[in-house]
Amino acid sequence: MNQKIRLRFAPSPTGFLHVGNLRTALFGYLLSKSLNGDFILRLEDTDQKREVTGALESLIKIMDWIGIKFSEGPHLGGDFGPYIQTERLAIYHDLSEQLIKEGKAYRCFCTSERLDAMRENQQAQKLAPRYDRACRDLSPEESEIKMIAGEKFVIRQKMPLDGEVKVFDELRGEIIFSAADLDDQVLIKSDGVPTYQFANIVDDHLMEITHVTRGDEWIPSFPKNVLLYDAFGWTAPKFFHLPLILNKGGGKLSKRQGDVFVEDYRAKGYLPEAIVNFCALLGWHPKSDQEFFTLQELEKEFSVSGMGVSPAVFDLEKLDFYNSYYLRQKTNQELLELCRHYLPNNFEEEFLLGVVSLAKDRLKKISDITELSGFFFELPNYDSSLLVWKTLSVSDSISNLRELKVILENKSFAWNKESLEELVFSWIKENDKKNGDYLWPLRVALSGEKNSPSPFEIAAVLGREESLNRINFSFTKI
Ligand code: GLU
């Protein structure tokens, strides 16, 4: 029987979701889809000092918003639970005891004072900080006696003392480590709680995980993980270490240089479609030069062969590019729903629809609507000089506006963009005037802005009365 393919996302509940972790989750999810497998959520909450309350709930919410679906997890249950590591402490305890009995791990009773002194000494001698294995050769009896006497201890994994450790990364191939460089790492801390390195391996095995996607910052501890699988006699899953995500300057993505949390992007008005499309290309290359992918398309297209190892660059302009694209794909009604939170609520629906339709092409993120649409709700207090096109004077501009007002007020026509355009352009032509001398002042009178959509589009949304009022108002700028 073929083994069921199972992947997992195993975040620690330390707060908001880092974009790097989203990329890891997304790649795990897409890989699980491409291999027709399951995708599982497991909470790695063994580092309780760093835990943030409510992190699991907000994680589930943001994954749901992104569209990543799990088949098992703390919120869903499943046959391999519990899916929260602190609810699995007995499992780790029993398995670590098993390793001690088999001579593959040992209790270390060294005090923190001793370890500090040892480290200082190593530093002074310019040696790599490493546990000196003082407790490794305690006899089982000595170890039992100390434990029964109530001495505090951690459990450490016995690393081979020499030779090579060969590991295999699906994206990089074989990587060889020297055993002498490996520390006897802690598996269980003195409070009985396991380390990431232990709980993660135990759970991946017990949850029958077949493929692991994780960041390449885990490569240095990869040999220790593989040795732990060997110590238990378990088969290790396939590992895919995803390339680092760098900022545009080539440095690490850090909070100081801008937003690193998916929640920040959501709050600013980035669409999940854009974030997914953008993150999917941070380490995956499609076969064709297709640039836009929905999550559904990615679920079909994603494959191991497109995954690379060279560092991916987090380019905010690229994210804006995707976001503008997906915003433009929205209907006016959908866009209005997205923007509503940023718009005043005392205006008619049709007016608001007109407002968002005009901003659509210029929105990079939803929150931009505030700046792009403000003038529709209240005419800004603009300076008279803004009415001036090229060499025209303020009074010429205003007299041009007076002429336009007469036509707009007195001709009978349907007040919409097309008719307005037709009327004004033909009048300009018939009277041998220049477009800029009329259209610029008209646009400024209607918007009060240096940049805005065309005067006809604005007038159509503002309606006849408000448009004429605004033109009248421009006459006071003299
Ligand atoms: N809890 C680890 C983290 O948040 C999981 C890494 C892994 O996927 O193995 O980075």
Query: Does any ligand 1 atom lie closer than 6 A to the CB of residue 448?
Result: no
Ligand 1 mean position to 211 CA, how many Å? 13
CATH number for position 454: 1.10.10.350
Tens of pLDDT, residue by residue over 407-459, are 999 888 999 999 999 999 999 999 999 999 999 999 999 999 999 999 999 99
The residues near 454 (Cβ < 8 Å, ≥ 6 apart) are: 439, 443
Tens-digit pLDDT profile for residues 460-478: 999 999 999 999 999 999 8
**What Cα–Cα distance (Å) separates residue 458 from each residue in 204, 453, 473?**
59, 7, 16
Structure confidence at residue 272 as a pLDDT band (50, 70, 90): very high
What average pLDDT does the segment 67-82 reach? 97
pTM strictly above 0.85: yes
Q: Pull the structure tokens for residue 219.
A: 């490569």
Token look-up 């900022």 returns 247
What does the pLDDT read at residue 252?
85
- Angle, helices 222-232 vs 89-101, to 10°: value is 70
For ligand 1, mutation pick of 42, 86, 200, 211 (most atoms within 8 Å of CB): 200
Mean pLDDT of 259-286: 95
Q: Are strands 173-178 and 238-242 parallel, antiparallel or unpaired?
A: unpaired
Residue among 213, 302, 305 nearest 33 (CA): 302
pLDDT digit string, tens, across residues 146-189: 999 999 999 999 999 999 999 999 999 999 999 999 999 999 99
Alpha-carbon 305 to chain mean position: 23
Kindly state whether residue 298 falls inside one of the protein's structural domains: no
Question: pLDDT per residue over 193-213, tens digit each?
Answer: 999 999 999 999 999 999 999
The more confident residue out of 391 and 30 is 30
Show the tokens assigned to 134: 């003082």
Of 296, 354, 415, 210, whose CA–CA distance to 30 is shortest? 296
Q: Which of 182, 212, 242 is the last residue of a domain?
A: 242
> Considering its fold, how many domains does the chain have in total?
2
Does 12 contact ligand 1 (Cβ within 6 A)? Answer: yes
User: Is 273 inside a domain boundary?
Assistant: no
| pLDDT for the residue 392 | 87
Q: Percentage of residues in the chain with pLDDT exceeding 90?
A: 92
pLDDT band at 89 (very low <50, low <70, confident <90, very high): very high
Going by alpha carbons, the residue nearest to atom 9 of ligand 1 is 214
Report the C-alpha dihedral over residues 126, 129, 130, 131, rounded to 10 degrees.
Answer: 110
Q: Which domain holds residue 133?
A: 88-242
Answer whether residue 420 is part of any domain.
yes
Could you tell me the maximum CA-CA distance found in the chain, to the nearest angstrom?
A: 108
Tell me, yes or no, whether 154 lies in a domain.
yes
Counting ligand 1 atoms within 8 A of each CB, the residue from 218, 219, 241, 242 with the most, and so the one to mutate, is 218
Give the phi and the psi of residue 236 in degrees, each rounded to 5: -75, 150
- Of the listed ranges 110-124, 189-203, 256-270, 324-338, the least confidently predicted one is 256-270
Residue with CA nearest ligand 1 atom 4:
11
Average pLDDT over residues 126-155: 96
Mean pLDDT, the chain, whole residue set = 95
The mean pLDDT of 117-124, rounded to a whole number, is 95
Tens digit of each residue's pLDDT (9 = 90 or more) over 281-328: 999 999 999 999 999 999 999 999 999 999 999 999 999 999 999 999
In the predicted structure, residue 1 carries a pLDDT above the cut 60: no
Question: Which protein residue's CA is at the shortest distance from atom 7 of ligand 1?
Answer: 214
Question: Which atom of ligand 1 is the closest one to the Cα of 213?
Answer: 8
pLDDT at 231 over 60: yes
C-alpha distances in angstroms, 398 versus 185, 393, 447?
Answer: 80, 9, 15
What does the pLDDT read at residue 478? Answer: 83
Indicate the residue among 209, 242, 275 that finishes a domain.
242
Q: Summarize the confidence of residues 364-387 as an average pLDDT.
A: 96
Residues annotated as catalytic are 255
Give per-residue pLDDT as tens, 233-247: 999 999 999 999 998
Query: pLDDT class for 109, splitting at 50, 70, 90?
Result: very high
> Which of 181, 209, 242 finishes a domain?
242
Question: 43 CB contacts (<8 Å, ≥6 apart)?
Answer: 10, 11, 12, 13, 56, 74, 83, 84, 85
* pLDDT at residue 150, as a whole number: 97
Residue 184 sits in a domain whose CATH number is: 3.40.50.620
Q: Does residue 218 form part of some domain?
A: yes
Mean pLDDT for the stretch of residues 37-54: 91
